[in-house]
């Protein structure tokens, strides 16, 4: 059975000069979080301690990047008493320097990720900041905390909720999809970086999951009360290191229109079901502008030469940590011949008339693994759902984006 496609985030009404000039901002799935991240407070352990300890705090549990949920559309949160057996009563009581000094690589520390505060809900206050604190906790059974993690998993499952597959989760309601995206991307980054990229030694999570450091000493193997063992010097301990902070990988994704503005270029790979096509996409490379990446990727994958490129919108994509930068490009006159021989990533690419695309949007939209919807005509074009920025780009073209005032 096909899953229900959730609605997109709803932005507040905006009558600014920019909106009047360029149109309303486009909000894509996984954006539009209801939380204020207050990122500047992640280093304030007084704030983190107060937020974690407050009875209003909500905790999202993640097991192997799969979130605890009531159903496919709604996450399920637990209270502090559920996670304390794993995290301890006061995980943020000691400041960062003291925690780093007590680092012991032989003891597994659960990642506690501060997500932000929901300012629409009152209760918690810290200085001028008010709202409901949200955390995510990694309860994946591993290392020295495996048994405690399994116990928590068993307890919450017994209450009637479950962990839903987080590998390609596109069914959550829009606000909670944004919360999940933040949690998944950050917990995945922490899990992928247990060792330092500068020296190869074990790292530890600090700043409520938003930074990893390479401590200068380690208590592993040291008798209780003994002095920690000094570790070799590491370049990440000097100055600001991009190895210590989460990364986001930019990806361009583009709807390419024919030179005469009547057709849309779409492609497919071997994973797609029959007649299912999407916009082209590829990673932005170092030393390359967004516009250049659109032109390069389109030519490499399809052989089509693109001229003008306009940025449309963006979408956070937590698989694992991409930022999809949506663009609309127009093929250069004489550059529309399709040639798949440069890069064999695509199995097919075609120019579709706008009428064919309109029919696909009306009757052929579905998730990648879902059957064709009711009303679909066999052999007609199938397209990705609105939870994918590809759908937004396709709709923008069909609704006259290239005929209106230029967008930022």
> Rounded to whole angstroms, how far apart are CA atoms 128 and 231?
41
pLDDT number for residue 404: 54
Q: What is the total residue count of the chain? A: 408
> Rounded to whole angstroms, how far apart are CA atoms 5 and 144?
40
How much of the chain is in helix, strand and coil states, percent to nearest 5? 25, 25, 50
Residue 24 CA to chain centroid, in angstroms?
A: 23
CB atoms within 10 A of CB 352: 19
> Rounded to whole angstroms, how far apart are CA atoms 301 and 130?
49
pLDDT number for residue 407: 47
> Rounded to whole angstroms, how far apart are CA atoms 211 and 217?
18
Is residue 229 within 8 Å of 221, Cβ to Cβ? yes
> Rounded to whole angstroms, how far apart are CA atoms 142 and 316?
28
In degrees and rounded to multiples of 5, residue 375 shows phi and psi of 95, -5
Q: Could you say which residues of the chain have pLDDT below 70?
A: 1-2, 402-408
Looking at the chain, the whole-number percentage of residues with pLDDT higher than 90 is 89
Long-range contacts of the stretch 142-145 (C-beta < 8 A, 24+): 142/108, 143/107, 143/108, 144/106, 144/107, 144/108, 145/86, 145/108, 145/109, 145/110
Report CA torsion sign: 58, 64, 69, 75.
positive
Gyration radius (Cα) of the chain, Å: 24
> Rounded to whole angstroms, how far apart are CA atoms 306 and 184?
35
In the DSSP assignment, the letter for residue 62 is E
Long-range contacts of the stretch 335-338 (C-beta < 8 A, 24+): 335/259, 335/304, 335/305, 335/306, 335/307, 336/258, 336/259, 336/304, 336/305, 337/303, 337/304, 338/265, 338/302, 338/303, 338/304
> Rounded to whole angstroms, how far apart are CA atoms 185 and 322?
9
pLDDT number for residue 408: 37
Closest to 164 measured CA to CA, from 149, 180, 179: 180
Closest to 352 measured CA to CA, from 386, 382, 372: 382
pLDDT number for residue 21: 84
Give kind and range of the element (H or E) at residue 188: helix 174-192
In degrees and rounded to multiples of 5, residue 352 shows phi and psi of -110, 135
Is residue 247 within 8 Å of 241, Cβ to Cβ? no
pLDDT digits (tens, 9 = 90+) for 353-392: 999 999 999 999 999 889 999 999 999 999 999 999 999 9
In the DSSP assignment, the letter for residue 179 is H
């Amino acid at each position: 059975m096909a899953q229900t496609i959730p609605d997109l985030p709803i932005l507040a009404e905006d009558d600014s000069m920019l909106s009047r000039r360029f149109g309303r901002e486009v909000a894509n799935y996984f954006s539009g979080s209801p939380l204020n991240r207050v990122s500047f407070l992640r280093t304030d352990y007084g704030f983190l301690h107060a937020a974690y300890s407050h009875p209003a705090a909500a905790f999202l549990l993640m097991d192997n990047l799969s979130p605890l949920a009531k159903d496919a559309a709604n996450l399920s949160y637990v209270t502090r008493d559920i996670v304390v057996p794993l995290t301890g009563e006061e995980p943020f009581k000691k400041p960062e320097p003291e925690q780093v000094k007590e680092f012991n690589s032989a003891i597994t520390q659960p990642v506690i990720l501060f997500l932000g505060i929901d300012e629409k809900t009152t209760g918690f206050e810290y200085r001028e900041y008010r709202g409901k604190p949200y955390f995510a906790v990694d309860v994946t059974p591993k290392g020295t905390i495996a048994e405690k993690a399994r116990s928590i998993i068993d307890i919450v499952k017994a209450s009637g909720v479950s962990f839903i597959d987080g590998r390609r989760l596109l069914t959550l309601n829009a606000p909670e999809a944004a919360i999940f995206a933040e949690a998944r991307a950050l917990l995945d980054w922490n899990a992928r970086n247990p060792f330092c990229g500068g020296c190869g030694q074990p790292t530890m999570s600090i700043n409520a999951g938003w930074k990893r450091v390479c401590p200068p000493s380690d208590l592993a193997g040291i008798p209780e009360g003994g002095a920690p063992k000094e570790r070799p010097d590491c370049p990440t301990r000097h100055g600001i290191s991009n190895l210590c902070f989460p990364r986001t990988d930019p990806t361009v994704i583009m709807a390419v229109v024919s030179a005469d503005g009547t057709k849309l270029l779409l492609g497919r790979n071997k994973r797609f079901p029959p007649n299912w096509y999407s916009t082209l996409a590829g990673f932005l490379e170092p030393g390359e502008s967004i516009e250049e990446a659109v032109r390069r990727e389109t030519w490499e994958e399809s052989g089509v030469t693109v001229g003008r490129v306009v940025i449309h919108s963006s979408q956070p994509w937590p698989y694992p940590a991409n930022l999809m930068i949506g663009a609309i490009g127009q093929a250069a006159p004489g550059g529309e011949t399709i040639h798949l021989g440069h890069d064999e990533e695509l199995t097919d690419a075609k120019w579709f008339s706008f009428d064919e695309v309109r029919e696909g949007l009306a009757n052929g939209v579905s998730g990648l693994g879902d059957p064709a919807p009711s009303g679909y005509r066999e052999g007609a074009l199938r397209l990705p759902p609105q939870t994918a920025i590809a759908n937004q780009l396709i709709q923008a073209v069909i609704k006259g984006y290239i005929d209106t005032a230029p967008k930022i």
